[in-house]
């Protein structure tokens, strides 16, 4: 109950702040499948991105968070825990594997996830090659992946910046990607690569749409 209240309050406060400060706009909400759980897979150029994703998705999402975020201050640790953030260390393969296992458990329990499949923030604001973890999750639970491209967050708060400028931010949802039924798949490796490539192309399409 406490976690739900904290999440709701943080979500709506951040929405109002981004709407006023960055004229946050959302497109493609109708493309989000009504079924749950889903995996929201977004590009990543800024520390603002998790906040934007959490604000624009009509529901609750469970994200990963750098373990360092849990070491800043006890109050911040309390906030991370009550927002449902799962700590992970990229330098520690064991914690990364544990986070993947936790994500699978959450999906099986019907909770939706927030994933940044590039693995780290883009230093130039452009989409990078995607890692395969999101496809592993989707094929294990047969959950749809919902692509989300965030335009403007890099300009509003690029890597290394501690201030948020007033640059507009637009969040565009793309076409959902469904794992094929078991009987229509080739090997698991082929299906995961198909999903990764399809997601890469859809995020690239949304990027071009945002640029042009």
CATH at 124: 3.40.1130.10
Q: Tell me: the pLDDT tens digits for 88-140?
A: 766 666 666 777 788 889 999 999 999 999 988 999 999 999 998 899 999 98
> 71 lies in which domain range?
2-211
pLDDT tens by residue, 5-51:
989 999 999 999 999 999 999 999 999 998 889 999 999 999 999 99
C-beta separation of 129 from 200 below 8 A: yes
* Neighbouring C-alpha atoms within 13 Å toward the C-beta of 142: 6
Give how many domains the chain has, as a whole number. 1
Check if the beta carbon of residue 141 is closer than 8 Å to that of residue 61: no
Q: Model-level pTM?
A: 0.92
């Amino acid at each position: 109950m406490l976690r739900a209240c904290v999440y709701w309050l943080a979500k709506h406060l951040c929405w109002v702040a981004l709407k006023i400060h960055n004229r946050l706009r959302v497109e493609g909400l109708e493309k989000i499948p009504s079924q749950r759980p889903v995996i929201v897979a977004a590009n990543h150029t800024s520390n603002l991105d998790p906040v934007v994703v959490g604000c624009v998705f009509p529901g609750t999402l469970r994200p990963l968070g750098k373990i360092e975020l849990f070491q800043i201050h006890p109050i911040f640790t309390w906030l991370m825990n009550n927002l449902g953030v799962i700590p992970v260390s990229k330098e520690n393969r064991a914690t990364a594997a544990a986070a993947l296992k936790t994500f699978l458990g959450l999906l099986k329990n019907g909770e939706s996830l927030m994933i940044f499949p590039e693995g780290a923030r883009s230093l130039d604001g452009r989409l990078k090659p995607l890692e395969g973890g999101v496809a592993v999750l989707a094929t294990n639970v047969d959950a749809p992946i919902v692509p989300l491209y965030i335009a403007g967050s890099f300009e509003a708060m690029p890597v290394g910046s501690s201030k948020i400028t007033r640059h507009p931010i637009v969040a565009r949802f793309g076409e959902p990607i469904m794992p094929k039924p078991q009987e229509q798949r080739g090997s698991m490796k082929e299906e995961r690569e198909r999903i990764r490539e399809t997601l890469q192309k859809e995020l690239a399409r949304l990027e071009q749409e945002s640029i042009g």
